[in-house]
Amino acid sequence: MKKIIICVFVSLAFLSCQQTQKPKAEVEPTDPKATEIWKPIPLKVDPTGNNGVPSDAIILFDGSHFDEWESSIDQGPVQWILNDDGSTTVKDKTGDIQTKRSFGSVQLHLEWRSNPDNKAKGQARSNSGVFLQNRYEVQVLDNNENSTYVNGQAASIYKQSAPLVMAAVPTGEWNTYDIIFRAPEFDAKGTKIKSGTITVLQNGILVQDHFELQGTTEYIGWPKNKAHGPAPIKLQDHQDQSGVSYRNIWVREL
Ligand code: MG
């Protein structure tokens, strides 16, 4: 009897081993055509065909109106300042603003300018922020000759990831952020099954390299991972007379 049991075990182990073995690699082709892929053909995008922005982008702000935006407080009209130069400046204590549309994964372009008259220290100097899906903040801050905790400085993923380098232009000049955001995924029970990721180029320089989000970017406490779907893009009113301005905001849905 003992022999039979041992025999069955050995046979099962052998079978399971055979099942997990990978098939032998195919013979490497010698014809260059064997490794060519012709379809599907990528869609054509005109890089500047939509009033200077990519033809498949949604223009969120071109300096002329706030039609794509609302107050985060009451979903009412935006109260930020519309400037003559095609930018908007945070109107202090009027609250964050957010897109009326909700987004999943996106490529987002925007430009921001710190306030040269803001001489406050640390986190109080031209603090704003770009929130993906209303939850994940890429920090906006004037860090020129102004130190703070590195996972809270400009181009950080707030309280999670310091930027790879400091790539800001001088205070008062326009910075660009090009952000590639992949939204986190949750299963039907609300458990996160895939982390979100953020890549950021500041002024064309890589500052966040496919960073895997730990959850929401909290001021106090640990990141949270409550399930959610598409959500607005939000710009922060830090409520300390930051004077930060934004312009030329567009987004491509991925
Ligand atoms: Mg901020």
C-alpha–C-alpha distance, residues 151 and 159, integer Å: 5
Question: Which pLDDT band holds residue 22 (cuts at 50, 70, 90)?
Answer: low
48-62 tens-digit pLDDT: 999 899 999 999 999
Question: Which pLDDT band holds residue 3 (cuts at 50, 70, 90)?
Answer: low
pLDDT of 28:
94
pLDDT of 26:
82
Q: How far is the CA of 156 from the centre of ligand 1 (A)?
A: 10
Q: Which CATH number fits domain 58-253: 2.60.120.560, 3.40.190.10, 2.60.120.620, 3.10.150.10?
A: 2.60.120.560
Is 85 exposed, middle or buried, given 0-12, 13-18 or 19+ CB atoms closer than 10 A?
A: exposed
Adjacent-strand bridge partners of 249: 61
Q: How far is the CA of 246 from the centre of ligand 1 (A)?
A: 14
| Mean pLDDT for the chain overall | 93
168-201 tens-digit pLDDT: 999 999 999 999 999 999 999 999 999 999 999 9
Q: How far is the CA of 236 from the centre of ligand 1 (A)?
A: 6
Q: How far is the CA of 191 from the centre of ligand 1 (A)?
A: 28
Q: How far is the CA of 223 from the centre of ligand 1 (A)?
A: 16
pLDDT of 105:
99
Q: How far is the CA of 161 from the centre of ligand 1 (A)?
A: 14
Q: How far is the CA of 87 from the centre of ligand 1 (A)?
A: 19
pLDDT of 89:
98
C-alpha–C-alpha distance, residues 143 and 219, integer Å: 18
Q: How far is the CA of 137 from the centre of ligand 1 (A)?
A: 7
Q: How far is the CA of 127 from the centre of ligand 1 (A)?
A: 5
Question: Residue ranges of the domains in the chain?
Answer: 2-29, 58-253
